[in-house]
Amino acid sequence: MAKKSKKKTGSTAGKVVWRLLFVTALCVLVYSAWNLVSIFLSYKEGTDEYDELRQFTAVVTQEPQTPSGEPKQENGEEPPEEQEPVSAPLTVDFASLQAINPDVKGWLYIEAPEISYPMVQGADNDEYLHTTYEGKSNYAGSIFLDYQNQGDFSDCNTIIYGHNMKNQSMFGKLKQFKEQEKYKDSVYFWILTPEGDYRYQIFSAYYTDAVSDAYTLFSDPDQAFLDYQANMAAKSQVPLEVPAMDTNSRIVTLSTCAARDSSQRFVVQGVRVQ
């Protein structure tokens, strides 16, 4: 009888252990599912908010350019064509955007891959890291200027940050410029502001360290700025034409985290050409 009782106790203990393991596994599964749902809802909330803000933009229909019909030169060659300014791809209702958030500095539109968002600037670089344009707490945060920059994009180098979101919102598609060779589709992006519209030609795109010299700011345009231009162009990991630059040039640096390494950043740099 004693042996049978001992065997029964051992069997019961085994069942208790398996039940505990089952309950633990179930709790982990439920928590993981809840976590995934929370992440999905957070992503959706951020995406929905920015989709709604796009109601304050309107796509501009580009007029096809026609031949000028100018007479040929004496040597029979066509005269050199003057480059006409290219109109911005969007118009933006900044009055409505400013009514929602007075920290708005402009609207960023990247032609390829298409990225289109308002830009803000906070008192520091943490303010909009996980706060949306409308002031809601959300991991997606905002596209924002470095707090040390002038808000009118007049600095030698203006730095703009955005999260590398897994659903490809914010700067989640920025790395496609290199990895999917989107630079073959377009090498331009636009910054639209209440004061004017600025077009930038991308001359460099590369992975770099979080403390890279790409994030250098300049108080005055001098030889150090000229050296910076050459160094940044040489860093490019995609073949890009480098337009003429000088001390009057204005560069914008777009920066996002690299998914494969949290200590790395992916940077796209453009210089104002219009």
| Consecutive H or E run containing 230 | helix 223-235
Region 248-267 average pLDDT: 93
* pLDDT score of 112: 95
Each residue's pLDDT tens digit, 69-122: 444 445 555 544 555 678 999 999 999 999 999 999 999 999 999 999 999 999
Q: What's the CA gap between 139 and 162, in Å, rounded?
A: 11
CA distance 210 to 217: 15
Of 7-16, 165-174, 217-226, 264-273, the one with minimum mean pLDDT is 7-16
Instruction: Please determine, for residue 59, whether its predicted confidence score (pLDDT) is greater than 80.
Output: yes
Residues with Cβ within 8 Å of 216's Cβ and at least 6 positions away in sequence, in order, are 157, 228
Contact call for residues 174 and 269 (beta carbons, < 8 A): no
Distance CA 268, CA 256 (A): 9
Give the domains, in start order, of the chain with CATH numbers: 87-272 (2.40.260.10)
Omega of the bond leading into 113 within 30 degrees of 0 (cis): yes
Spatial distance between the Cα atoms of 173 and 183, rounded to a whole number of angstroms: 12
What letters, b where the CB count within 10 A reaches 16 and e where it falls short, cover 150-162?
ebebebbbbbbbb
pTM: 0.81
- How crowded is residue 245: how many other Cβ atoms within 10 Å of its Cβ? 20
8 Å CB contact between 220 and 242: no
Residue recorded with tokens 């032609």: 111
Exposed / middle / buried, residue 91 (Cβ in 10 Å: 0-12, 13-18, 19+): middle
C-alpha–C-alpha distance, residues 23 and 106, integer Å = 52
Average pLDDT over residues 10-18: 72
**For the CA atoms of 8, 13, 14, 20, what is the dihedral angle to 10 degrees?**
150
Span 178-200, pLDDT tens digits: 999 999 999 999 999 999 999 99
